[in-house]
Structure 1
Amino acid sequence: MIRLFFREHAAFIIFEFLLVVFILLLFWLDGFRRADTFSYVFIISTVLIATFLLAKFVRRYTFYKRVLHKPDTMEKALERNAKTPEFLEAERYLHDLYKLYQDEVQALYATQSRQIRFMNQWVHQMKTPLAVLEMLLQEEGELDKRSMREELDRMKAGLETVLMNARIETFEEDMQIDQVQLQALVQETISENKRLFISKRVYPVIDVPADFIVTTDRKWMKFTIGQFLTNAVKYTFEPERKVFVTANCREGDILLTVKDEGIGIPASDLARIRRPFFTGENGRKTGESTGMGLYLADEVCKKLGHQLDISSSPGEGTAISVLFHQQEQASKE
């Protein structure tokens, strides 16, 4: 403790020593060359400096005792007992740093818990298509390829959601912003989900101008539109219904809307459907919802700077819109 104190004040002690020597030299040059004068000045200066250092050491004793001993708990390390303005500010800084650390730890813990919960839920849900595939393979006669494709598509969609959920934490590293033709992106996404439309006997209606260009990440936006389409078909229980995909220009921005003719979302669930793992009343009816699709879509839109809006009425369907800000048409009419 004493060694630390003198290491901290070594420069001050040297400076005071040189200052006393300088004063004695002035006395010498000014004609005061008596030994008792020199002794008096030296003793008084030494006593004053020693008293000052001793008082400072006493004030810092508690602080030195803290930093030179390993604390048993974090609460003990963050005890407030500083007495000087400098150490008061140091304590305040440490408390702010600890709060920042706690926030980061809580965020990491929440992310890890969400990942584990989602993986457990996804693995549980994948048991159903695996069981169906196993039953189909055990049946005698010709293999039902259509049913196999449906179950494989379910597994493929679930696996893609898991991968996107894992990548959302490193979104900035995976993001690639580009000029994307909206109509081609919508058609490609619908084409990849055509078997789902056919199996549910739901038909897409596309009204997206070919000259609409949006600035976005193609892969992430394709995943987001795919979630909208999947939900639209999944919650349309009556056959021969339609899913409308439209786009229009609104004050220089482009608004993409996916509207279905399904069962709609109850008003009590509408405010919570963007939360992770929230399945709501409709999710409990199907028993297949993970509650992560709209959550991931909302996160993607936030990170890309797009505005996501959801409106719905029970029995009348649901409309999900994405607003691409400050977009322009590729060609002027």
Structure 2
Amino acid sequence: MENGISDSKRLSLIYLQELFLQKTDETHFLKMPQILAFLEKKDIFIDRRTVYTYFKLLNYTGFDIVSVREKGDCKYHHPQRIFDITELKFLIDSIAASKFLTEKKSKELIDKVKSLASDYDNAALNRSVLLGNRVKSINNTVLENLDSIYAAIADNSKITFQYMRWNPQHKLEYQKGGKLYSVSPYAVSLNADNYYLIAYDNAAELLKHYRIDKMKNINLLHEAREGKKIFKSFNPVDYTLKTFGMYGGREETVSIECSNSLVGVFIDRFGYAAHLRPDFDNADKTIVRISVNVSPQFYAWLFALGTGVKILSPDSVINEFIAMTDSVLKNYRN
């Protein structure tokens, strides 16, 4: 016994909290005989007056146990939850859809999310999520890599790491023979279900991005980051919008003529960053002006929109697009 509080009392509070989290919610209740029977199974024998005292202690800590009168009797429940059932379903679906998590880690996180619900809601959270049918990461260090990167950013430190790539045998192998990359980390971006580090490349003296699930052996150098002047005017959100598939390219302001039916495609991709005006020569068309990092991935995205779009300017982008489509056609003709 310490400070007048017995071990039994401490355990009773923990067990009661566990009981009310698992067996009650907004619509499910417990009666006093059920509560006392539960405690007796834990070898804790107390009367209802002591239980009322424990309820007051739990309420004082913010864990509210609410009593409801019913036909001359009382029933009790813990109605409040950090997340409601709809929010928990959303979290589970988001975890299942996250490609940067391994199947094992996804299952672990889903089980933890389900533990936040009562036993009754838990059944509704069996979402039959087919993790095995989804594209999932096979690198189980993504979350650890994120922790290391955020720690480096908070410490204003450079990092070194080794970078991986896939080989034809479906194995990750070191790029550049395992040579260490040295960068100054500035931001993390989630794009197309993958996490990317946006960093200043100390050797090349420019900003680059790296897939975090392909980084290995991250080490904090505790040397001050470089590239602060460049990053000062850098907007990670704009960078993500402009970069297709996180493939780099030079930034261009591109004007595109598109069918009115395709305007939504540009708004969905670029939001308010897509500047729209009517095509004064054709009421069925709209002129879209966007700032984008031109790359083969950007051209492929435009190509998928078919004859409903046409690049108007600049000429350099038009010529690159024509050259790319010609080279693809040549590959098939040969």
Q: How would you bin the TM-score normalised by the shorter chain?
A: under 0.3
Bigger helix fraction:
1
Normalising by structure 1, report the TM-score. 0.23
The structure that has the greater radius of gyration is 1
Higher RCO (C-alpha under 8 Å, 6+ residues apart): 1
Normalising by structure 2, report the TM-score. 0.23
Bigger strand fraction:
2
